[in-house]
Structure 1
Amino acid sequence: MGARNEDGPLAYAMRLIGDWWTLELLHDALDGNTHFEEFRDNLKIAPNVLANRLSTLVRTGLMDHLPSESGPRHDAYVLTDLGRALRPVLLALTAWVNDRLPPERRSVVLVDAATGREVEPVLVDRVTGRRVDTGAHVLTAGPAAGPEVRARYTARHSG
């Protein structure tokens, strides 16, 4: 039986992201929306549900709530560094879905802002510039790995 890594990076990501609506709100925030009404109108969501979801994003550290002196209607919800760091993940998910759809079914595409040409994102190693989505790169146990995770990855990489 494989080792379940509840403290691993994917488990951590899912604790932060949780549900699909988190991605929708993050997408809206990355598009520049900051106010409750903008999120509500774009996502067609009930105000009480939206308030709970924004509260969750603030609590998990993905967004900051910036109260306005003009009153709650002008409060802003802005991405934190942690929230902005999810941009490449959202772009990669968008590209992954679009790659499986015929072009006429793609509702949103990633383009070069200067040329308007559609682009295809890839994940590369910052140091070497090499793509990491090939068999030349593998996951292995990290410094915080417990015995079961170490055994799992040792077995995979030993022959």
Structure 2
Amino acid sequence: MQRKTLLNAECPVALSLEHVGEWWSLLIMRDALQGLRRFDEFSKSLAIAPNMLTRRLNALVDAGLLERRAYSTKPLRHEYVPTERGRDLIGVIFALIAWGNKHFAGSEDSVRVVEKTSGRTVQPMMVDIETGTVVPWEDCEVAAGPGASDDMRERIAGIKTRLQ
């Protein structure tokens, strides 16, 4: 059975999941953002079947998250380098690390996100883009953007009405 596509969705969460919603995709991007580049490096890190790795790498290249670059011509071999779009996924990966540590890691974190120079643990947060002020999660909500369709505006308004 063919799964439903989210390519025509208006919601940015749905659109994002169309490209990285399968767990292997996020794990490959996690590894690529930490510096892995070659097929054998991903294969060893993830213990993923070669055919699945090939499909996921191709999908990530097609989605513009990775760029395929030849590093050997005989035999032809490629490396996979995060594009700007792919590098922007780092915030999502960092947020998943923090969320996973808080809710699933047990008593000791196995991985933390730290500030490079100090080594101090950092947490994802929302920041007012005009003032740089940190805004607590509980003070944030979803709002219709300037490109929202009437249906999206109704959907968001309906959710807010139901929650009041």
- What TM-score comes out, normalization by structure 1 length? 0.83
- CA positional deviation for 1:130: 2.8
- Residue matched to 1:86: 89
Please, what is the CA RMSD of the aligned residues? Answer: 2.3
Unaligned runs of 5+ in 2: 1-7
Shift of 1:70: 3.4
Distance 1:73 1:34, change over 3 A: farther
Aligned partner (choices 132, 137, 156) of residue 134 of structure 1: 137
- CA-to-partner distance for each residue in 1:48-100, whole Å, 9 max, x for gaps? 22111111110111101002343456421000100000001110111011122
Identity %: 38
CA contact (8 A) 2:125 2:137 kept: no
Structure 1 stretches lacking a partner, 5+ long? none
- Say which structure is richer in strand: 2
Deviating beyond 6 angstroms after TM superposition, the runs of 4 or more aligned structure 1 residues are: none
Count of aligned pairs between the two proteins:
153
Cα separation, 2, equivalents of 1:72 and 1:92: 39
- Decide which of 91, 102, 106 is 2:106's aligned counterpart: 102
Flag the structure with more relative contact order, 1 or 2, with Cα contacts below 8 A and sequence separation at least 6. 1
Question: What is the CA-CA distance between 1:135 and the residue it aligns to?
Answer: 4.3
SS at 1:99 equivalent: helix
The code of the aligned residue for 2:139 comes to A
Secondary structure of the corresponding residue to residue 119 of structure 2? coil
Instruction: Map 1:1-159; keep pairs closer than 5 Å.
Output: 6-71=9-74, 74-100=77-103, 101-104=105-108, 106-154=109-157, 156=160
